[in-house]
Amino acid sequence: MNFPTRTLTLAIALASGAASAALTPEEIKQLGTTLTPWGATKAGNADGTIPEYKGGIEPPASYDPKKPNFRPDPFANEKPLFSISAENMAKFEDKLSAGAKEMLKKYPGYRIDVYPTHRTAKYPKYVLDNTLKNAASCKLADNLLQLSGTCFGGVPFPIPKTGSEVMWNRTMKYDQFAYYSPSQTSTLVDRSGRRVETGAFAYWQTFPAMNPARTEPIKADEMLEYGRIDWTGPARKAGEKLVMHDSVDMLNVGRRAWSYLPGQRRVKLSPDVAYDTPSPAGGGVGTVDDTQVFYGAQDRYDYKLVGKKEMFIPYNTFRLHDEKQCGTDQVFTPNHLNPDCVRWELHRVWVVEATLKPGARHVYPKRTFYWDEDIPAVGMADNYDDAGKIYRVTQTHYYPFYETTGHNTHEFVVHDLTNGSYVRQAYTPAGGGMMEVTPAAEAKPASFYESSALSRAGVR
């Protein structure tokens, strides 16, 4: 890998540190000048294939604010700059992940269509202000599993110096304060190309630290995230409900989850909705923490910051959400999504290697994460098996919002390279459309996510 000398030196010196290193005043002054307010390199690259950041996306003229979840593709008229296949991938090897190269070699019909790069990230002012505060005061405790110092709802470590800091940026990522997805769907495509709906559900999420009205710092033991799923399908799961509480404190509190089973009419604690438990909507493909590339506590791995590099990643995936071009019958092809529907771009990413801690258990003993410098939750992962071979490849399918600042990073795909199957989780309402942003005033209260709320709302 060819990394900038400064980045590589920084990674080697600090990757194994037991606590996060404080930024110097000179480093903090880079934010908003040579770096974006959240810490990405503001300038483009030397050959112009990555542009300078100039403020993010603006809604195109064809966008109708009365239909906020229908977001037209501003890049619909662009054509691929080039396509990468097994035949020519050696030419682009330094910008491809190991997982992408393995898929190109394994599947004859797989290709990567590379389009012009657009840096569409956009954050609200309060998140940028909080990020600047974090640069001077947010730290990690010695175990790297707790925030310490004074941290606010923004990017906690805009100039990360360790792998754990990059992973915390993903954990604390800003998409929105609250979401509502009335129709989230998980679809499995097995090795023969047969399509199976493995999950259909309504989905709510609230991130208390990202409340725009909030002014106080994050407490060490408060809730980081509330989530709730109300299953509507398949028939065997219809009527089930699940709530999850993720704490800022990954060490002493971690994740707690409760499920409602309509056949028993009772709520039970679900301690297995974490780590490498098979995903309840994955149909046997993917773990719980494969969700959104990585979702959950960090305590089972040691994280090494390899550095920052330019790589091709799925980005600005408007076409993938266009029912006319990439509806259900078009998008799902054997072994992988239809390459015609997936847009790839060249972006700078943070590369983090995760190695299972001695004595810890996980189906993936090694993982490599690639996180976008502009949006810490956009990226990919290569997940390895005990033999050191790539077992599964995960990718996000991001698009920006128009009705407000922020990003949808919740949709993803998991490819199982051992059997040729894959599963995609996406927002697929009847008649098309995309994920809905919940106005702050309409965000669900904490009581909506309590276990007692499940039994009150339960139905047979």
Please write the tens of the pLDDT for every residue from 318-334. 999 998 899 999 999 99
One-letter amino acid for residue 382 of the chain: D
- Omega within 30 of 0 (cis) for the link into 217: no
pLDDT category at 458 given cuts 50, 70, 90 is low
What are the backbone angles phi and psi of residue 17, rounded to the nearest 5°? Answer: -65, 150
Return d(Cα 332, Cα 353) in angstroms, integer.
30
Structural element, H or E, at residue 225: strand 223-233
Give first-to-last CA distance, the chain, whole Å: 55
pLDDT tens per residue, range 50-105: 999 999 999 999 999 999 889 999 999 999 999 999 999 999 999 999 999 999 99
Q: Could you give the residue ranges of the DSSP H alpha helices within 248-362?
A: 323-326, 328-331
What's the rounded mean pLDDT across residues 280-308?
96
* Per-residue tokens: 275: 């780590």
Average predicted confidence (pLDDT) for the chain: 93
Q: For a pLDDT cut of 90, what percent of the chain falls above it?
A: 85
The domain in which residue 366 lies consists of 5-457
- Local confidence band at 435 (pLDDT 50, 70, 90 cut-offs): confident
Residue 15 belongs to domain with CATH number: 2.50.20.10
Q: How confident is residue 460, by pLDDT bands cut at 50, 70 and 90?
A: very low
pLDDT given at position 166: 98
Query: Which tens digit of pLDDT belongs to each residue from 140-168?
Result: 987 889 999 999 999 999 999 999 999 99
> Among positive and negative, which fits the CA dihedral 353, 360, 394, 86?
positive
Sign of CA dihedral 102, 105, 111, 116: positive
Q: Report residue 419's pLDDT band, with 50, 70 and 90 as the boundaries.
A: very high
Contact predicate 314/395, CB 8 Å = yes
Q: Give 163-182 pLDDT, tens digit per residue.
A: 999 999 999 999 999 989 88
The Cα 318–Cα 299 span in angstroms is 35
* Triad 25, 307, 94: Cα angle to 5°: 145
Task: Give, for 12, the enclosing helix (H) or strand (E).
Answer: helix 5-14
For the stretch 208-241, pLDDT in tens is 999 999 999 999 889 999 999 999 999 999 999 9
Strand 336-337 versus strand 344-356 pairing type: unpaired
**Distance between CA atoms of residues 121 and 401, nearest Å:** 9
Q: Give the number of domains in the chain.
A: 1
How far apart (Å, rounded) are the C-alpha atoms in residues 327 and 451? 36
pLDDT tens string 347-363: 999 999 999 999 999 99
CA angle at 236 for the pair 235 and 240, rounded to the nearest 5°: 95
Contact 317, 120 (CB under 8 A): no
d(CA 129, CA 123) in angstroms, rounded, equals 10
pLDDT band at 9 (very low <50, low <70, confident <90, very high): very low
